[in-house]
Amino acid sequence: MSKPRLVILHRNMGLLGGAQRDLIVALPEHAKRWSITVATLNAPQLLLDRCEQLGIEVITPDVPWQLPTGPIAEVTVRAGRSARKTWRKLRSKLQPTLDAADACCITLGTGGAEVLEIIPEGLPLYIFIHERDKGIYDDVLQRDMDGKLRYPLFVKNLALTYRRRWDQRWHKRFWNRPKTVISTNTPTSSRLLASSHKWPVSKDWIAGNVKFRDEQQRPAEIGVLWPAIDPTAWPAEETDEERQTWETFRHKPAGQYLLTIGRACFMKGSKEAVQIAASASLPLVHVGGGETEEMQRQAEKFGAELHVSPRINETEIVALMRNAHALIATARTEGFGLTPMEAIMVGTPALVVSDCGFTHTITDGWNGRRLPWPDTKEGLEQWVEAIDQASDEANRTAWSKAGRGRILERFTADHQAEGLARGLAAMGVDVETTDLEMLPGLDPA
């Protein structure tokens, strides 16, 4: 029996952020149930290699689309308008695949809704919006690392008026489209997205349990489709390849160190991570680029030892994570937070702020520490205490065991693939589903 045909569409896989990595991790499990085509305006080599291994067709423009940047591009929604134009040009190449498809899935990180225009009206559609577009409905992307707005508030609000209208226009079409399911990656992301568009949200947070508001199968609520973590990419025990990589790693820190991963900026709490490292008198290793010069200035200001890592490969990241004293995660408005889960998988304590997506994954004192923002003396003291607790081998072992168990029962690619399949099956798509147990979301953990 041939597998049903699924087209997965994503505007810019070249970003290789959390949303993009999530899709790449989950593809092998999705491919067990579907004959897949991936369509994207920018395909990195990592995606091409994974799809080649799985026999998945990838459709892209002849010239990769590049994300327009800068204040003028932001104000005029140049990214959205440019992507829409590129999708239209790609339609002739993509149309035969869409005509033969049994279902589509749009995965959205920051922007990308414009692809809706080329999807056939009657085709069952699963829209996986990891989280709402940051910078349109909040100001975390408009602040410098100290938290000061780069432009006066009234200028920001005026400038983003058109962007909000553009975003709301596409989301209104999502909500009113027949044969459509909409999910985000956590209850926090669902509530934030719903608050921007006045949509209702799910109450049980079980992936695959979808509800419709009418016979046309238009969405009745915003559900959840949890991100996927690949246990084989983050093995509990060090592999021979990882050991050899670590032995020859040129950027290996000397002695104990704290680790932070993600683009350095206000949203990722880079300043706060530096403050924590300074208070704990431990070096901080940063991976992920971003505003690294400003992060270094903050380190000098607070007297922290900061090491900014260059671009490193996946095995090097695993080794760097495994050998860290602890992972520090201080992000604002984080939808889920992959890095604490990845740290747990390799036995490294995850120390996170008690905010947003982290509240669905880390139970304080059980599989890590969930701590207050380090913006007071008392808050910083709790972080230093947690870093000291991370030295205890009993804590490290217990937290990792508990955390790994939670991941394996909730956040694997199999769970995501099952949730997607059940959602599309609810719209009449003949796709294989299983009796895999899908647990309700932890809200909070």
* DSSP letter for each residue of 185-211: SSHHHHHHHHHHHT--B-SS--TT---
Name the nearest CA neighbour of 303 among 280, 335, 269, 326. 280
Separation in Å, CA 297 to CA 220, 271, 303, 308: 48, 10, 10, 12
- Are residue 196 and residue 222 in the same domain, yes or no? yes
Q: Which pLDDT score is estimated for 155?
A: 67
Question: Are 219 and 255 within one domain?
Answer: no
Query: Sign of the CA dihedral 83, 86, 91, 93?
Result: negative
Q: Are residues 76 and 210 in the same domain?
A: yes
Whether 441 maps to a domain, the answer reads no
HSE value, Cβ hemisphere, 13 Å, CA-based, for 333: 18
Would 297 be classed as within a structural domain?
yes
Closest CA relative to residue 335, chosen from 221, 225, 209: 225
Looking at the structure, do residues 247 and 156 belong to the same domain, yes or no?
no
Distance CA 363, CA 407 (A): 13
Q: What is the dihedral of CA 321, 324, 326, 329, to 10 degrees?
A: -50
Instruction: Note whether residue 137 is domain-resident.
Output: yes
Phi and psi dihedrals of 286, rounded to 5? -110, 130
The parent domain of residue 354 ranges over 240-409
In a domain, 443, yes or no: no
3-state secondary structure 130-187: CCCCCCCCCCHHHECCCCCECCCHHHHHHHCHHHHHHHHHHHHHHHHCCCEEEEECCH
Terminus-to-terminus CA distance in the chain, angstroms? 41
CA 259 to the chain's CA centroid: 19
pTM summary value = 0.94
200-218 exposure pattern, b = at least 16 Cβ within 10 A, e = fewer: ebbeebbbbbbebeeeebb
Report yes or no on 308 lying in a domain. Answer: yes
Do 405 and 416 share a domain, yes or no? no
DSSP 251: T
**Residues 327, 332, 336, 338, CA torsion sign:** negative
Residue 69's SS3 state is coil
> Is residue 82 domain-shared with residue 222, that is, in the same domain?
yes
> Which residue shows structure tokens 């006045």?
198
Phi, psi (rounded to 5 degrees) for 398:
-65, -45
- Predicted pLDDT of residue 101: 98
pLDDT at 140: 87
| Per-residue pLDDT of the chain in tens (445 residues, 90 and over written 9) | 699 999 999 999 998 888 899 999 999 999 999 999 999 999 999 999 999 999 999 999 999 999 998 777 877 889 999 999 999 999 999 999 999 999 999 999 777 999 999 999 999 999 999 988 877 888 888 899 999 988 777 767 776 788 889 999 999 999 999 999 999 999 999 999 999 999 999 988 999 999 999 999 999 999 999 999 999 999 999 999 999 999 999 999 999 999 999 999 999 999 999 999 999 999 999 999 999 999 999 999 999 999 999 989 999 999 999 999 999 999 999 999 999 999 999 999 999 999 999 999 999 999 999 999 999 999 999 999 999 999 999 999 999 999 999 999 999 999 999 999 999 999 999 999 999 999 999 999 9
> What's 213-247 look like in SS3?
CCCCCCECCEEECCCCECCCCCCCCCCHHHHHHHH
Spatial separation of the C-alpha atoms in residues 36 and 6, rounded to whole Å: 5
Tell me, yes or no, whether 421 and 396 share the same domain.
no
CB atoms closer than 10 angstroms to residue 228: 26
Q: Which residue has the tokens 């962007």?
A: 163
Q: Clarify whether residues 270 and 203 are in a common domain.
A: no
| 191 shares its domain with 176 | yes
Long-range contacts of residues 195-199, Cβ cutoff 8 Å, at least 24 apart: 195/137, 196/132, 196/136, 196/137, 196/168, 196/171, 197/168, 197/171, 197/172, 199/175
Residue 213 to residue 216: CA distance in whole angstroms: 8
Reduced to 3 states (helix: H, G, I; strand: E, B; else coil), residue 316 is helix
366 and 405 Cβ atoms separated by less than 8 Å: no
**Residue found by looking up tokens 């291994």 in the block:** 53
Asked, as a colleague might, if the bond just before 444 is cis with ω within 30 of 0, I would say yes
Q: Which two tokens stand for residue 77?
A: 């929604």
- Establish how many alpha carbons lie within 13 A of residue 146's alpha carbon, considering only the half-sphere containing its beta carbon: 8
Tokens of 334: 């984080």
Distance CA 315, CA 122 (A): 43
Q: How many domains does the chain have?
A: 2
Q: Which amino acid is at 94?
A: L
Residues 211, 254 within the same domain: no
Q: What pLDDT, on a 0 to 100 scale, did the predictor assign at position 1?
A: 65
Distance from C-alpha of 140 to C-alpha of 333, rounded to nearest angstrom? 8
Does some domain include residue 234?
A: no
Residues 6+ apart with CB under 8 A from 318: 233, 234, 242, 346
Same domain, 149 and 117: yes
Confirm whether 131 is domain-assigned: yes
The domain that holds 112 is classified in CATH as 3.40.50.2000
Tell me: do 403 and 417 sit in the same domain: no
Does residue 195 sit within a domain?
Answer: yes
